[in-house]
Structure 1
Amino acid sequence: MIKNIQFMEQLNQYYTTWQEWNCMYEEWAKANGLSANSLLVLSAIYDSKEECTQKKISQRWLVPKQTVNMILKDFEKQGLVELSPMRTDKRRKTICFTPKGKEYAKTILSKLRKSGNECN
């Protein structure tokens, strides 16, 4: 019984901390002209070590595929990303930054990571 109570207390602490970080992340994204989900998508593409796809972004960040799709269409209109059919499955598309997109992501994400270091 005591272990269960301790577990529940730890779980509540985790959720409280997660909510606080999520709120700060959303505020930071908004202050920099992005939604929290747009920032997650930008980060996922930038940090991807292999082919980046809508499905991988959706699964990694638990963001609905339709939301990821709308963000990617917006990024594409802004000239930040290009979507190309995958070599192995022409129905799916690989997401790559344009030079403009790579520079934008580098600027935004370095700013985000710098602000994160200031919290530590």
Structure 2
Amino acid sequence: MQQLDQLEQRIGRLEAVIDRWIVQQGLTYNAFAVLYSLARADGGNCTQKDIGEAWLLPKQTVFSTCKVLTEQGLLTQQPDNRDKRARQLCLTDAGRAQALPLLAAAEAFSERLFDAFGSERTAHLLAELDALNTVAETIINAEENRSCGAP
């Protein structure tokens, strides 16, 4: 498990650096996830479920964060016409005033980061992470199939 531990440490370190950048923007990670998602969303709205799935956040976490942002006047929530259990989230004018500069700042940070890292190294890193993920999924799928009695 040593190599998996090393990978987890490196991912954790990178996440901590990104979390520091988010804090510099005056937000929590969860509030950033919601505002950023809405700023990038087609039509300016999406569901709590969309955000939770995209950011791997628990449903209750997204719900609580959206409740706070709604109370702050940054977003509105309405029933989703396609799924009565879901809520469509939409930025208010005040929410757009906060989220759009945040989106621009995030895109600028990303550009500076990956420009400094280099396009070739970035492409290689992403390709290798994709390959590692594929290998991990293959192994886990094989183990699940064996435990279910499949050959």
**TM-score (normalizing by structure 1):** 0.79
Given candidates 32, 35, 40, the residue that maps to 1:42 is 35
Which residue is equivalent to 2:112?
A: 118
- Shift in Å, 1:17: 4.2
* Pairing 1:70–2:47 present: no
* Pairing 1:95–2:75 present: no
Q: Which residue identity does 1:70 align to in structure 2? A: S
**TM-score (normalizing by structure 2):** 0.64
- Shift in Å, 1:81: 0.5
Q: Which residue identity does 1:60 align to in structure 2? A: A
Structure 2: gaps of 5 or more residues: 117-151
Distance across 2 between alignment mates of 1:117 and 1:102: 22
* Contact 1:25–1:36 (8 Å) recurs in 2: no
Tell me: CA distance 1:14–1:110, structure 2 relative to 1, closer, same or farther (3 Å): farther
Give aligned pairs, total: 113
Considering only aligned residues, what root-mean-square deviation do their CA atoms show, in Å? 2.2
* Contact 2:35–2:99 (8 Å) recurs in 1: yes
Q: Which has the larger radius of gyration?
A: 2
SS of the residue aligned with 1:52? Answer: strand
Which residue is equivalent to 1:5?
A: none
Q: Which has the higher helix share?
A: 2
Distance across 2 between alignment mates of 1:93 and 1:19: 32
- Shift in Å, 1:19: 2.1
Equivalent residues in 2 for 1:49-64, closer than 5 Å:
49=42, 52-64=46-58
1:30-62 deviations in Å (ceiling 9; x for gaps) = 122211122112112222226511111111111
